[in-house]
Structure 1
Amino acid sequence: MSELLNDNTKNDQAIPFRFTRLYVTLFVVLAVLLTGGQILTQWRLSTVQDELWIIRYTALQRHQSQQIVKQALQVTDINERANFDQNLSELRHVFTTFERYHLQSREGKVSDHNVTIPNSANVQVLYNEINPEFTAFQRSIRRLINLRSPDEVVQPDVQASLKLLLANEKPFLEEIDAIVRQHTGDLRNQLTRLESIELYLYIVSILVLLGIGVLIFRPATRRLKQTIAQLIEAEQQASIANKQLLSVNKSLSETRQKLFEATRLQYQQEMDEQKLRTSYLMAGQEDERKRLSRELHDGLGQMLTAIKLQIEGLEAGLKRAAQQGTSDLTAHSKNISNLKKLVTQTIQETRTISNNLMPTVLSDFGVIPAIKMLAENDRSETIDVTFESNLTADDPRLDKNVEIMLYRITQEAISNAVRHAHPSHIHIELIERQNYVHLIVSDDGRGFRPENQRSKLSHQTQDGRAPSQGLHNMQERAKLLNGKLKINSVPGKGTKVQVSIPYKMQSAHYDAN
């Protein structure tokens, strides 16, 4: 085997394969030997235990036979008449057990422990020899256990049965002892054979272990020394190559880190620029709305007020002329009254437009009074709008952009609900919780499926607006302030719009203009 292994040094792949095959073969042989020996040992020990039960129950018949003779003498004893029934009952019980044990022992059985072992030929011969004594025991005891009164013991057949029992007691005991000795001898022979088998298995196992040491470990040790020398040399070469690789890897890592940092900075810069552009756009829109609101209020509003005053003066003059009876001015008076009402409505509408573009209450008093006024203005005979908040007027003002965003989203949500949902109740909540400001606008209108709205941006409604444009505007406004917009809606069960932005209360400066 050593020569074979040395020849295989020319083929590095064949050596491990043959080592493994040889080792597995010897290991399997050793495992089979040990497993076979263990199985055989356990099986024989189980058989020995069963045979011990057979021997125990066979030896027990000796004691039972003596007890039977004792009980029979007490049953037939004239002095034991008072205990006749008790002695007779015990005799029946002992004889029943004795008879069952003897008959089962003949077949090599112990039913109490579910043991069955065929008797050897020698044991079976001894049982055949003891059969006459056992038969005499049966005939004698069966006559005695059939006694009905103590007076029957003096009958000749009863006395004859007692004499027959006493005559067979000693031969039965001697033959039972012979059976027990035969059982014991057979068991001792089996244990001797088992010891011999165990010894052979032990010797073979030792030889297999020696074979493993000589045929595997010894050549393997020699080959291992050569391999270790080669590994040391390879390790030195690998160490040099590893240093070079570490240097290259460090350079690559630094380059990758610089590239990643540059990419991150570029992405962050693009995001900041996008937010800045959007913020400038929103700020420009709000400034334009403020300018338009100021012009409508200070220009068109004042002019319409002057017109109203002039018409009222004209109406008064016409009334005086009518009182003097100079002309029939009833129709002219009615037209002038209608014109005055129309001008009044125009002024009110102008103020409403001005308030919607940039409500002065938002700049002067904050978002809470502004939303409250928005809720009151949007109430009608068919729609009830309510508002509640855990923020008070004593709390510091929110940031200017935050207040404008909250107001515009509220305005858009109410507008969408009125136009599309046709609710009977709209509820607005503005609450501060867990470092966030939450705006919640809910209604009990028709509702819709939010996922369907995302696919309808190109569909136009009767008023010329895309169905989800309002939702898109609200979402974009929330993103500008790092807020989150969540819309829950179920057809027939209303809609709930919730905006959450980081909570930051501060004293905000607003232009008085």
Structure 2
Amino acid sequence: MPLRVPKRFTRLYITALSLVAFLTILGQILIQTTLEDELHDPWLVNYAGRQRFHSQLIAKTALLLTQRPDLTNKEIQLQELKRVLADWEDHQNQLRTGDLRDIKAKSVNSDTIQSMFEDIDPHFQVIAKNTHSVLKWIEKADTSQKIDKDLKNIFAHELTFLQKMNRIVFQYDKEAKEKVTKLRGIELGLMALTLFILLMEGLFIFRHAVQKLRETLIQLIEAREKTYKANQELQTAYQQLRLAQSQLLETTQLRHHQELKEHKIHASALLQGQEEERRRLSKEMHDGVGQMLTGLKLMTENFANTKSWTDYDRQNALNLRQLVGQTIQEVRSISNNLMPTVLNDFGIKSALKQLVDSTARNCAAHLTFASNLNDERFDQRIEIGLYRIAQEAIHNAVKHADASEISLGILQKNAEISLTIKDNGKGFRLNKKKFTPTSPSHGLHNIQERAHLLDGTLKINSAIGRGTEIAVQIPNDTKLTR
């Protein structure tokens, strides 16, 4: 039976994992926020320290420019003082307001630091104001006692500015360390809480899960053994079934081959009997009826020469002679269709050539014949089969397809004989699945049956309005005779 996991266990497991995930995310948010704030602390400490250095540089440069007018690089010193002064004022403003434009960030000063900036601001303003005054007098080249007064004011407040700025630097550093200590405490607290939750999960959830898993594994192993035994039994039964199926299939195939062989023998015997009967009828019509009709024709010729007959009787005799001649030709045509003597005497090429010529004389279609044979002779069964196929195909093209162009070709290549009949008639729709035409004619069935009895292949290509092409390939294993 399948094990059902208790809903309570599932809820506890989801709750525990959710709590761990929440604490992890919360810790990351706190840490990332604190780190984001602490990223500004090094800049604050650094630039607060630089403010001390810049204040000293401002006082020293101002003194140098006023006390040593013979300096060769006075203009450079003057430009440097302007630059340092502007930078000093800008960074003092950034540090005091928290608008750190250099690093595109915002910082909130603590109340302590904010009060320190308010305390140092008067000294900063005095130094900045007097330095601008010194610059103005230097640019005017005025060496009056006003410059000395401005210098005294600068140096009077510069030491105090340094001391108070030192306190600001130390306060920045102290607050940065306090943030790191606070962050460490938060991280340790979150880690302890996470470990506690994991411990509770192990005691109240995972221990039961391991027990259930152990029981499930035992049941799975038992089920696997049962399945393995059942599979072995099924394999044995399947092998027996396959063996029986193979034997049945082999028996069925043998029976099918036997039936096909018997059908082929029966059809071959039937066709052979038909050909023998045709040969007999052809011989009887040629030797019997043909001879009698020839004699009758001679008699009518004698009657027509009688001088005592009237013109009316003589005309009837002439009509009778003509009718007897047409009857003789029809009997010869029927006898030749039943079994052409040229096929027995000269072979398949001559017989097919005669078939094309006689058909061309009796219909309006234009027939052509092509062959690469000379005087080769094949097995009588092959020659008769190929002749009957060509005869049936040409008959269908003339009678049913209303073709105006018919071509017949017989070619020999290696050990195969290829017979092709092509016309430009009406064509028909071919059923590709059963390989039978949808037209009511049975001629193609006879062609297919004869090709099968000769162990050949039959291909029919036809479409309505595009004519028909019949191609038969017969294997020829007999030796050729010259």
- TM superposition score category, shorter chain reference: 0.5 to 0.7
- Aligned equivalents of 2:446, 2:243: Cα separation in 1: 38
Helix, strand or coil for the counterpart of 1:507? coil
Q: Deviations over 1:45-87 (max 9, x none)?
A: 3432344455555555566667777887899885567884x77
1:48 to 15, 35, 38: 38
The answer to whether 1:33 aligns with 2:18 is no
Per the TM alignment, residue 472 of structure 1 is displaced from its structure 2 partner at its CA by 5.3
Q: Deviations over 1:358-389 (max 9, x none)?
A: 897499856x8877776676667644556578
Q: Deviations over 1:242-262 (max 9, x none)?
A: 76x678657744663465245
CA 1:304–1:93: 2 relative to 1, 3 Å: farther
Instruction: Tell me the equivalent position of 1:338.
Output: 322
- Aligned equivalents of 1:449, 1:112: Cα separation in 2: 88
Q: Give the residue type in structure 2 aligned to 1:208.
A: I
- Aligned equivalents of 1:157, 1:505: Cα separation in 2: 136
In the alignment, is the contact (CA less than 8 A) between 2:377 and 2:480 conserved in 1?
Answer: no
CA 1:494–1:50: 2 relative to 1, 3 Å: farther
Q: Give the residue type in structure 1 aligned to 2:197.
A: V
Per the TM alignment, residue 286 of structure 1 is displaced from its structure 2 partner at its CA by 2.0
Per the TM alignment, residue 202 of structure 1 is displaced from its structure 2 partner at its CA by 2.5
In the alignment, is the contact (CA less than 8 A) between 2:378 and 2:480 conserved in 1?
Answer: no
Per the TM alignment, residue 192 of structure 1 is displaced from its structure 2 partner at its CA by 0.7
Per the TM alignment, residue 320 of structure 1 is displaced from its structure 2 partner at its CA by 8.6
Per the TM alignment, residue 37 of structure 1 is displaced from its structure 2 partner at its CA by 2.9
Per the TM alignment, residue 182 of structure 1 is displaced from its structure 2 partner at its CA by 2.9
1:195 to 184, 189, 206: 184
Q: Give the residue type in structure 2 aligned to 1:294.
A: R
Moved more, 191-200 or 256-265: 256-265
Matches within 5 A, 1:223-372: 249=234, 252-253=237-238, 256-257=241-242, 259-261=244-246, 263-265=248-250, 267-269=252-254, 271-303=256-288, 306=291, 310=295, 331=315, 335=319, 338-339=322-323, 342-343=326-327, 345-347=329-331, 349-354=333-338, 361=343
- Aligned equivalents of 1:318, 1:180: Cα separation in 2: 157
Q: Give the residue type in structure 2 aligned to 1:450.
A: L
Per the TM alignment, residue 300 of structure 1 is displaced from its structure 2 partner at its CA by 1.4
Identity %: 26
Matches within 5 A, 1:126-137: 126-132=116-122
Q: What 5-or-longer segments of structure 2 have no aligned partner?
A: none
Per the TM alignment, residue 349 of structure 1 is displaced from its structure 2 partner at its CA by 2.2
In the alignment, is the contact (CA less than 8 A) between 1:139 and 1:161 conserved in 2?
Answer: no
2:105 to 104, 107, 115: 115
Q: Give the residue type in structure 1 aligned to 2:261.
A: L
CA 1:393–1:163: 2 relative to 1, 3 Å: farther
- Aligned equivalents of 1:410, 1:145: Cα separation in 2: 124
Instruction: Tell me the equivalent position of 1:461.
Output: none
In the alignment, is the contact (CA less than 8 A) between 1:441 and 1:498 conserved in 2?
Answer: yes
In the alignment, is the contact (CA less than 8 A) between 1:33 and 1:205 conserved in 2?
Answer: yes
CA 1:301–1:75: 2 relative to 1, 3 Å: farther
Matches within 5 A, 1:359-438: 361=343, 382-383=365-366, 385=368, 415-423=395-403, 425=405
Per the TM alignment, residue 287 of structure 1 is displaced from its structure 2 partner at its CA by 1.3
How many residue pairs get matched? 475
Per the TM alignment, residue 331 of structure 1 is displaced from its structure 2 partner at its CA by 4.6
* Backbone CA RMSD of aligned residues: 6.0
Q: Give the residue type in structure 1 aligned to 2:113.
A: V
CA 1:80–1:165: 2 relative to 1, 3 Å: farther
- Aligned equivalents of 2:214, 2:81: Cα separation in 1: 85
- Aligned equivalents of 1:216, 1:295: Cα separation in 2: 103
Helix, strand or coil for the counterpart of 1:118? coil
Helix, strand or coil for the counterpart of 1:300? helix
- Aligned equivalents of 1:423, 1:21: Cα separation in 2: 87
Helix, strand or coil for the counterpart of 1:119? coil
- Aligned equivalents of 1:158, 1:408: Cα separation in 2: 140
- Aligned equivalents of 1:473, 1:23: Cα separation in 2: 81
TM-score, scaled relative to structure 1: 0.63
CA 1:125–1:247: 2 relative to 1, 3 Å: closer
CA 1:273–1:53: 2 relative to 1, 3 Å: farther
The answer to whether 1:450 aligns with 2:430 is yes
CA 1:297–1:496: 2 relative to 1, 3 Å: closer
In the alignment, is the contact (CA less than 8 A) between 1:65 and 1:98 conserved in 2?
Answer: yes
TM-score, scaled relative to structure 2: 0.66
In the alignment, is the contact (CA less than 8 A) between 1:399 and 1:505 conserved in 2?
Answer: no
- Aligned equivalents of 1:208, 1:372: Cα separation in 2: 104
Q: Give the residue type in structure 1 aligned to 2:172.
A: H
Q: Give the residue type in structure 2 aligned to 1:123.
A: I
- Aligned equivalents of 1:81, 1:317: Cα separation in 2: 162
